[in-house]
Chain A
């Protein structure tokens, strides 16, 4: 089976740094995705990790450790518009992703 765990909620202050963790236990692994979803809207793609290590894209970075079944999304210089749900998803079988329940991030002034 597939099991993906993320914290349900997090709160951070504008301008700060926040790290959202994701742990997974899946029957296969091709890669791990992070998506951002604003309330009532569709998810949008943020990052994709296949190999161990850190991938940086502007204010957002994503880290993967395959041996530990662990990933995190790092958001720097937080802005109010970063308030959203962040979904961790694992592609365990070719072309098919399993999603975690998401972490709702609230950014406060």
Chain B
């Protein structure tokens, strides 16, 4: 079955540490996205990529980095420069152009700073 896989489901980060969240899709979607969700709030866009080897900053890119070396993979690194990283991180993919079916989301990674 096609879908998006995010790992790990739960992640704990120490102060000053970089961590990488994995996102893999087998839907053959061109576009991939990373969103952050804080309690009681909507999704805020961190980075997005519409084609391999290219990506764009979203609304809250500071303290994060991404790569898109393969169509199937879009890992997100949360760096030590991100001062408040505790949140629920969602990866999504879509056909591009044309979003008639919206985004397909992964099951999310819950990151906590300890």
Do A48 and B42 contact each other (CB < 8 Å), given the known contacts A41-B107, A42-B108, A95-B94?
no
Asked if residues A31 and B43 are in contact (CB atoms below 8 Å), the reply is no
Q: How large is the interface on B (under 10, 10 to 19, 20 to 34, 35 or more residues)?
A: 20 to 34
Q: Which residues of A contact B105 (CB under 8 A)?
A: 42-44
Asked if residues B97 and A98 are in contact (CB atoms below 8 Å), the reply is no
Interface of A is mostly: strand
Asked if residues B48 and A45 are in contact (CB atoms below 8 Å), the reply is no
Interface of B is mostly: loop
Tell me the nearest residue of chain A to B90, going by C-beta. Answer: A42
Asked if residues B31 and A102 are in contact (CB atoms below 8 Å), the reply is no
Asked if residues B101 and A87 are in contact (CB atoms below 8 Å), the reply is no
Q: How large is the interface on A (under 10, 10 to 19, 20 to 34, 35 or more residues)?
A: 20 to 34
Asked if residues B103 and A102 are in contact (CB atoms below 8 Å), the reply is no
Q: In the assembly, what is the distance between CA of A97 and CA of B35, in Å?
A: 10
Q: Which residues of A contact B63 (CB under 8 A)?
A: none
Q: Does A91 contact B (CB under 8 A)?
A: yes
Q: In the assembly, what is the distance between CA of A57 and CA of B64, in Å?
A: 38
Residue in B35, B42, B43, B108 with the greatest tally of chain A CB atoms within 10 Å: B42
A-to-B contact residues, CB < 8 Å:
4, 8, 30-31, 33, 35, 41-45, 48, 87, 89, 91, 94-102
Q: Which 10 A-B pairs have the closest CB atoms?
A: A45-B102, A42-B105, A99-B42, A101-B42, A99-B43, A95-B96, A33-B102, A95-B31, A100-B42, A101-B41
